[in-house]
Amino acid sequence: MATPQHSGWIGKRVKRLEDPRLLTGRGTFMDDVTLPNLHHAAILRSPHAHARIARVDASEALRLPGIRGVLLPDDVARMSRPFGVGTTVPVKYYPTAVGKVRFVGEPVAVVVAKSRYLAEDAAELIRVEYEPLPVVTDPERATEPGAPLLHEEIGSNVANHRLLQYGDIERAFREADRIVRTGRLVFPKYSSTPMEGYGVIASFDAASALLTVWSNFHGPFVMHPLVARSLKLPENKLRFICPTDNGGSFGLKTSIFPYLALIGLAAMKIGVPVKWIEDRQEHLLASSSGTDRVSYLEGAFTKEGVLLGVRMKIYDNVGGYIRSPEPACLYRPAGNYVGPYAFRHLEMDCHAVHTNKSLTGPNRGYGCQQLYFGLERLMDLGARELGIDPAELRRKNLIPTEAMPYTTPTGGIYDSGDYPQALEKALALANYPALREEQRRARAAGRLFGIGVVCCVDPSVSNMGYVTVGIDPEVRKRSDYQAKSGAAETAVVRVDPMGNVTAVISTVPHGQGHETTTAQIVATELGLDPEDVTVVADFDSFTHIWSVATGTYSSRFSSITASAFAMAARQVRDKLCAVVGHHLGVLPEDLVVAGGRIFVGGDPDRGVPLKQAAGMAHWNPLALPKGMEPGLQAMYTFHFPTAQPPDEQDRVDSSNTYGFIAEVVAVEVDPETGKVEIKAYVTVHDAGTIINPMIVEGQIYGGALHGIGGALYEELAYGEDGQFLARTFMDYLVPGATEAPRLVIDHVVSPSPFTTLGSKGLGESSAMTAPAALANAVADALGVHVDTLPLKPERVWRWVRQARGTR
Amino acid sequence: MTLDGTYEFPAPRAKVWAALLDPAVLGRTLPGCDKLEAIGPGEYRAIVKVGVAAVKGTFEGKVKLADLEPPTRYRMSLEGSGGPGFVRGEASLELADVPGGTRVSYRADVQVGGLIAGVGQRMLGGVARMMLEQFFTRIATEIGAAA
Amino acid sequence: MKPAPFEYVRPRSLAEALEVLRQHGDEAKCLAGGQSLVPLMNLRLSKPGVVVDLNALKDLAYVRAEDGSVSIGALTRQRVLETSPVIRQRAPLLAEVTPLIGHPPIRARGTFGGSLAHADPAAEYPAVVLALEGRMRAARAGSEREVPAEEFFVTYLTTALEPVEILTEVTVPVLPPHTGTAFVELTRRHGDFAIVGVAAVVTLDEAGAISRIRLALCGVGPTPLRARRAEAVLQGQRPSQALVAEAGRVAMDEADPADDLHGSAEYRREMTAVFARRTLGRALERLGVRL
């Protein structure tokens, strides 16, 4: 099997193939999709956080001219089943409220009309009588006796609970010289605000009982059987189509699935194609978000600063209904719960809790930003209490390079990495000693200057079995239990009769530039330029190869899809060499594929253009070597054999490749106002082989700004009465170019032994680290314990006063 | 949110009490009130158009009077809902004699929900106080006119 | 969201516009830059029966230097105030504050008059016009009147303009010599509404004492407000750190802020003192006085 002689396009800053059409307004997004007789939906949503629905009267709405029909809770209860979810409590989550509303913004009814304007006019006329109920919004408070109960059939607000124990935590805490406690940590609820929100078109063909749904969903396609089951449709009667361009998701559009069902039901009941394009208020109110988290961490340290063990008590707020893929918020980082540190003893007391807030799901970083906020605050508190420099403390605890591949106590298999080198690089780039010197001078002058250091493991490619660690092991042992595992992706590479190359991706990218990176990979293997490769990025569940893991989420492309395309392209390459070898009477191994030709190594004139070789396979298949199939295409499914289900000790390799991030951040705090200014931001990433450095830098910038947003600005704020307070961008503050610091970015490259090109995922990147880094920097500046985000000016101002009061 | 305050009327307590509880007077003085009809003893349904400048909404709601201790104190509960959201509240009012007239002290716990709770939160409390101010001023005018 | 149904009118002259308002009264709303009205309509917080589009009234967009003052047409785009040499010369405070309003695309559409007529208590222009003691011209069918800035802002989102009136022009007097001006605000992000904003106009006499002082606050009450008691503390005194700090404390007590997501009333009050101090400091710095 011939391999490319050179790295070709891997590692090159190839300009994105997507950009010309995007920059000239020629992309095809959901709102560009239209059908004959298309009608439009408006959704009536609950203004109450918790209430019984006494009555719904749509009669006045239906009388308005241009209104085609209305979908009500009774219709939904009759026509659909509650969504399946990976927890054992009997939660009933439908696309509309049924019987009760449990969060402000929950859909209650759908109006379908000739235009969105008319549909909204009619929605205002629907009369709903509510009987308000008491409200709870804090995930820890919601577990206390007497807290308002959201789901009577469950009997408690705990949607999922596991006590996971690894190693010998009692011994670690006994042997420790010092127990460090974080106290109550609060991580906020925030989102991703992509430029394009949710968009759905549903059309039901009654004659064939086929529901076709166009949307900007992007996987994991486990949501396809989920929606089919909920709509009582056989899977082959539900067709998902996704247009080529998706205006951003960051994981949020995984959770579009209830709206696919909702608009599907509207189309099925009313009998016309229905389009719904989410507006910004709806997006902030009721699309999806990360969980807010209350946690308590304790660390068992030796006096030299070695971390022996950690206890974590976690309450994750999943809002009014736990929904797939939750409780992944708790378990997605299962394999990397210990981060980059070598401690072997861990206890995780994990709760997913129902409260009267909007619903959650994947949000760039998914579980890691919450985890690392806790773990990195613990490290910094340990450093302070033990009198050890925070960078030095991390050095002492990083998993050594020689240990790679390293199996964590929780079952994660860290494939490769050089953590100490990356940390040193970050410290050197930041000129750490100079920053500490600057801090000394600032303190002498009464200024508040602080430095935050964080190290984290960046997981990519989810093992579809990880969320089952949330299920009790006794249940997992039962014979009727369906285990889950695996991470797979299928690549299709075709060369057509004229010799043009097409790669068909099923990932449904949402801005990551997959067309470009795929073209780079395929062009490298076939000796072409990326512009020679056409990448098909739209998706149709009827015609694409896909399975439950398919899609773009968890930074999986660079790890799994890149590997699949390299392998598929190599198969095409091998076939081309076999064809040309047969034609020229030479061994395939003696051929070189480069510059659009296939020729004998060392004798370049003895060869044929690739286009001609392809033509041979199509036009004259009977002249091919005996036994060779006509045509020229390859399909390759790449998967990870390490993606096993959790074992009986709850160990699971939750992701299949693991990168590393080391960051050093410096801030100055205005003591009079509490405003935080980022003075320096250094970030060093190791994601193995880099395919396109320009795209990688974009991801790092985006991830960092995202994390800065969560740390300083963004918050899906609720009052104690469960009212949602940030319905517009006036109050949900997204940092813009004017808030962005300049990043200093560098890399370490530790290729993965598990992927074809040695590449790993990186898309989530600094979204996981920035909140912890900024919290540590502000804590360092103020000399107080920072236990809550976001670092709003008033909050920081109060900490400054608190710190000065004790001096 | 909690709203509290006092308002002084240059009129005797009995007159102020009567005006505050007279549905006809209430109908005229509640800011933007289009219709106030009795639906039971001490219970009224109202359609109220409230707003400040361009921001306006129509609310349909109920007002209930309770714990009447004439002419000193009573409680009022209200709930209203409309396009922009809903309002629910409980208020207690006390009347006391002061030189030159009557002082009414009120304390209200008001919950606001839906759209109005999520946009322009910083103006809510102030606008609510403005409405109350408007209400009391009109009642004063009513009482003055009746005198 | 989509707005509720409305009628749309685009008058070709001021007289035509005023006639439409006379007919429809408070069922009509004027559309200038749309940066405030359109979101309110899209959210259905505002449902005017008639939208009167003023954007054809090009004659209402101008910046004119006059004897001892500068007159600004209400339909002047905010972006113009950022770059106009007349404004820089005669009312530099307006040029200083304009880049703090939203972002360039907003300022390309938003108008000076529109911002004043909308009267958001956290907006910058109302506080600045108050500090500069501007005069507003309000026209109605058949007549017009002048309203001084201190009478123009009545309460939340409410001005002295009656439903049948249009704000047509704002005149701002040129400041006396030896006057320093500054505007400093506290926001969470660049371009946001002010949590607290302070406009200062300080004139020094030959002895270096404060002969004239105007201090206006935004974001801390139902309207922008003149901090008159703080002004009284400063009037006639020689500037010093202690004096400015005292003025800040007094201004703090004059503020009447509300709570919201971005700052509690207590925080806003404390920040009033901080920003009154910082703004006075900057205005004095521009006169060459370092505290």
**CB-CB neighbors (< 8 A) of B125 in chain C:** 258-259
Task: Decide if C194 touches A, using CB distance below 8 A.
Answer: no
> Which residues, including other chains, have CB under 8 Å from residue A189's CB and lie 6 or more apart?
A289, A290, A291, A292, A317, A357, A360, A715, A716, A718
For residues C115 and C151, membership in a common domain is answered with yes
* Helix, coil or strand: residue B71: coil
Task: Kindly state the tokens that stand for C198.
Answer: 């302070």
Average pLDDT, chain C: 97
Q: Which residue of A has its CA nearest to B117?
A: A725
Position C231 in a domain: yes
Average pLDDT, chain B: 86
Query: Choosing among A56, A357, A723, A725, which should be mutated to test the B contact, i.e. which has the most B CBs within 10 A?
Result: A723
Residue A306 near residue A92 (C-beta atoms within 8 A): no
- Range with the lowest mean pLDDT among A214-218, A477-481, B118-122? B118-122
- What tens digit of pLDDT does each residue of A15-47 get? 999 999 999 999 999 999 999 999 999 999 999
Q: How confident is the model at residue A319 (pLDDT cuts 50, 70, 90)?
A: very high
Q: How many residues does this entry show for chain B?
A: 147
The Cα–Cα gap between B143 and A806 comes to 57
Task: Decide if A47 touches B, using CB distance below 8 A.
Answer: yes
Domains and CATH numbers, chain A: 19-27+488-639 (3.30.365.10), 33-133+192-286 (3.90.1170.50), 159-191+289-465+645-805 (3.30.365.10)
DSSP code of A711? I
> Which residues, including other chains, have CB under 8 Å from residue A641's CB and lie 6 or more apart?
none
Position C265 in a domain: yes
Tell me the pairing of strands A533-536 and A501-504.
parallel
* Amino acid found at A538: D
**CB-CB neighbors (< 8 A) of C39 in chain A:** 728
Residue A58 near residue B96 (C-beta atoms within 8 A): no
Environment class of residue C150 by beta-carbon count within 10 Å: exposed (0-12), middle (13-18) or buried (19+)? Answer: middle
46-105 in chain C: CB under 8 A from chain B: 46-48
- Residue B28 sits at the vertex; the CA angle it makes with B24 and B31, to the nearest 5 degrees, is 135
CATH number at residue C276: 3.30.390.50
Share of chain A above pLDDT 90, in %: 96
Give the end of a domain, one of C111, C143, C173.
Answer: C173
- Three-state SS for A173-232 is HHHCCEEEEEEEEEECCCCCCCCCCCEEEEEEECCCCEEEEEECCCCCCCHHHHHHHHCC
pLDDT value of residue A134:
98
Domain that holds residue C97: 58-173
- Nearest-10 crossing angle of helices A793-805, A770-782: 30
- What tens digit of pLDDT does each residue of A456-500 get? 999 999 999 999 999 999 999 999 999 999 999 999 999 999 889
pLDDT value of residue A2:
40
CATH number at residue C96: 3.30.465.10
**Edge-to-edge strands of the sheet including A603-609?**
A591-594, A597-600, A603-609
CATH number at residue C33: 3.30.43.10
Q: How confident is the model at residue C221 (pLDDT cuts 50, 70, 90)?
A: very high
| pLDDT exceeds 80 at position A719 | yes
The residue written with tokens 């061994």 in the block is A587
Task: Kindly state the tokens that stand for A667.
Answer: 């801030």
pLDDT value of residue A807:
36
> Which residues, including other chains, have CB under 8 Å from residue A284's CB and lie 6 or more apart?
A191, A193, A716, A724, A726, A727, A728, A732
Tell me the pairing of strands B85-98 and B101-113.
antiparallel
The Cα–Cα gap between C39 and C35 comes to 7
The Cα–Cα gap between A156 and A315 comes to 14
Average pLDDT rounded to a whole number, residues A663-686: 98
Q: How confident is the model at residue A623 (pLDDT cuts 50, 70, 90)?
A: confident
Position C1 in a domain: no
The Cα–Cα gap between A806 and A445 comes to 19
Position C33 in a domain: yes
Task: Decide if C262 touches A, using CB distance below 8 A.
Answer: yes
Task: Decide if B56 touches C, using CB distance below 8 A.
Answer: yes
Q: How confident is the model at residue A398 (pLDDT cuts 50, 70, 90)?
A: very high
The residue written with tokens 């009759």 in the block is A78
For residues C12 and C65, membership in a common domain is answered with no
Environment class of residue A144 by beta-carbon count within 10 Å: exposed (0-12), middle (13-18) or buried (19+)? Answer: exposed
> What separation in angstroms does the CA of B31 have from each of A478, B56, B137, B139?
66, 12, 10, 11
The Cα–Cα gap between C28 and A278 comes to 30
Average pLDDT rounded to a whole number, residues A167-171: 98
| pLDDT exceeds 60 at position C235 | yes
Alpha carbon dihedral A95, A486, A652, A353, in 10-degree steps, equals 0
Residue A296 near residue A312 (C-beta atoms within 8 A): yes
The dihedral of CA C11, C12, C16, C21: what is its sign?
A: positive
| pLDDT exceeds 70 at position A6 | no
The Cα–Cα gap between A97 and A523 comes to 50
Neighbours of A603 (CB within 10 A): 11
Tell me whether the omega of the peptide bond preceding residue A327 falls within 30 degrees of 0, making it cis.
yes
Nearest-CA distance A436 → chain C (Å): 28
Residue C62 near residue C71 (C-beta atoms within 8 A): yes
For residues C163 and C215, membership in a common domain is answered with no
* Residue closest to B44 by CA, chosen among B28, B27, B57: B27
Position C2 in a domain: no
Q: Which CATH superfamily is domain B2-146 in?
A: START domain (3.30.530.20)
Task: Decide if C183 touches A, using CB distance below 8 A.
Answer: no
Task: Kindly state the tokens that stand for C142.
Answer: 């058949």
- What is the ipTM, given to two decimal places? 0.96
**CB-CB neighbors (< 8 A) of A731 in chain B:** 118-119, 121
pLDDT value of residue A3:
47
**CB-CB neighbors (< 8 A) of B56 in chain C:** 45-47
Task: Kindly state the tokens that stand for A341.
Answer: 């540190």
pLDDT value of residue B147:
59
Position C63 in a domain: yes
- What tens digit of pLDDT does each residue of A84-101 get? 999 999 999 999 999 999
> Which residues, including other chains, have CB under 8 Å from residue A688's CB and lie 6 or more apart?
A416, A657, A659, A749, A750, A751, A752, A755, A758, A759, A760
The larger pLDDT score, comparing residue B80 to residue C148, is at C148
- Range with the lowest mean pLDDT among A304-313, A797-806, C187-196? A797-806
Q: What are phi and psi of A387, to 5 degrees?
A: 70, 35
| pLDDT exceeds 60 at position C123 | yes
pLDDT value of residue B143:
77
Q: What are phi and psi of A708, to 5 degrees?
A: -65, -40
The Cα–Cα gap between C107 and C120 comes to 16
Average pLDDT, chain A: 96
* Helix, coil or strand: residue A716: coil
**CB-CB neighbors (< 8 A) of A792 in chain C:** 188, 262
Task: Decide if A730 touches B, using CB distance below 8 A.
Answer: yes
Q: How confident is the model at residue A257 (pLDDT cuts 50, 70, 90)?
A: very high
Q: How confident is the model at residue A654 (pLDDT cuts 50, 70, 90)?
A: very high
What is the total count of domains within chain C?
3
For residues C279 and C185, membership in a common domain is answered with yes
Q: Which residue of B has its CA nearest to C263?
A: B122
Q: Which residue of B has its CA nearest to A124?
A: B83
CA B134 from chain centre, in angstroms, equals: 9
| pLDDT exceeds 70 at position A66 | yes
Q: How confident is the model at residue A379 (pLDDT cuts 50, 70, 90)?
A: very high
pLDDT value of residue B122:
78
The Cα–Cα gap between A749 and A751 comes to 6
| pLDDT exceeds 60 at position A1 | no
The Cα–Cα gap between A718 and A503 comes to 46
> What separation in angstroms does the CA of A700 have from each of A372, A551, A705, A766, A767?
17, 21, 8, 6, 8
- Nearest-10 crossing angle of helices B13-21, B121-146: 120
Average pLDDT rounded to a whole number, residues C54-69: 97
Number of alpha carbons in the 13 Å side-chain half-sphere of residue A15: 6
For residues C42 and C75, membership in a common domain is answered with no
Tell me whether the omega of the peptide bond preceding residue A588 falls within 30 degrees of 0, making it cis.
no
pLDDT value of residue B146:
67
The Cα–Cα gap between B34 and B15 comes to 24
- Tell me whether residues B123 and C46 touch, CB distance under 8 A: no
**Residue A186: which region, alpha, beta or left (left: phi > 0; alpha: psi -120 to 50)?**
beta
C164-190 per-residue burial string, b: 16 or more CB within 10 A, e: under 16: bbbbbbbbbebbeeebbbbbbbbbbee
For residues C186 and C160, membership in a common domain is answered with no
Helix %, strand %, coil % for chain A, to 5? 30, 25, 45
Going from N- to C-terminal start, the domains of chain B cover 2-146
For residues C232 and C184, membership in a common domain is answered with yes
The Cα–Cα gap between A783 and A798 comes to 13
* Amino acid found at B40: G
Average pLDDT rounded to a whole number, residues C127-150: 98
Position C268 in a domain: yes
Q: What are phi and psi of A216, to 5 degrees?
A: -100, 35
Stated as kind and residue range, the H or E segment containing A87 is: none
Give the end of a domain, one of C140, C173, C206.
Answer: C173
Q: How many CB pairs under 8 A join B and C?
A: 57
Neighbours of C246 (CB within 10 A): 17
Task: Decide if B50 touches C, using CB distance below 8 A.
Answer: no
**CB-CB neighbors (< 8 A) of A725 in chain C:** 261
Stated as kind and residue range, the H or E segment containing C253 is: helix C241-254
Environment class of residue B134 by beta-carbon count within 10 Å: exposed (0-12), middle (13-18) or buried (19+)? Answer: middle
- What tens digit of pLDDT does each residue of A676-694 get? 999 999 999 999 999 999 9
